[in-house]
């Protein structure tokens, strides 16, 4: 990996952890923005072991994957932008599943040769049916 890579671990804030308004019907999400010359290769290495759902009802350009207790929506960069990787989980183990997914993403990006940058964005909890 190049010295210019910046791939921080996901460190959830207390406020994000406390935002659990719907009990077990709460979906927690974090968005990862991945950039850099090796971003595509790094994201593909993260997605490769996941199960792809090509029939998912997602917007054009978005791909849905899942594994265990989490889902991943990936959107490739447009015009030199960032890969957008939305990690989502719900239920009693929602936080644990999401943090495990974030750890997997971080590990895949760090293991990929070349320059990669990662930025995390906590999203508000939502209610699931």
Residue-level pLDDT at 46: 97
Interatomic CA distance for residues 7 and 107, integer angstroms: 9
Cβ neighbours for 90, distance < 8 A, ≥ 6 positions apart:
24, 25, 26, 27, 28, 128
Interatomic CA distance for residues 31 and 121, integer angstroms: 5
Residue-level pLDDT at 35: 96
Taking domain 25-89+102-127, whether its CATH number is 3.90.1200 is answered by: no
CA angle 103-104-107, nearest 5°? 85
> What are the tens digits of pLDDT across the range 70-114?
999 999 998 779 999 999 998 878 889 999 999 999 999 999 999
Q: Residue 58: pLDDT above 50?
A: yes
Interatomic CA distance for residues 10 and 54, integer angstroms: 28
Interatomic CA distance for residues 89 and 92, integer angstroms: 10
Element (H, E) at 10: none
Mean pLDDT of 54-73: 94
């Amino acid at each position: 990996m190049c010295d210019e890579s910046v791939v921080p671990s996901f460190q959830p804030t207390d406020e994000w952890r406390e935002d659990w308004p719907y009990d077990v019907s709460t979906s927690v999400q974090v968005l990862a923005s991945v950039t850099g010359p090796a971003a595509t290769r790094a994201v593909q290495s993260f997605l490769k072991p996941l199960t792809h759902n090509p029939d998912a009802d997602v917007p054009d350009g978005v791909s849905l994957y899942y594994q265990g207790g989490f889902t991943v929506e990936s959107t490739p960069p447009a015009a030199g932008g960032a890969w957008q990787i939305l990690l989502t989980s719900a239920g009693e183990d929602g936080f644990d599943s999401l943090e495990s997914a974030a750890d997997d993403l971080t590990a895949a990006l760090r293991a990929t040769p070349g320059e990669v940058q990662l930025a995390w964005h906590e999203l508000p909890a939502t209610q699931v049916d």
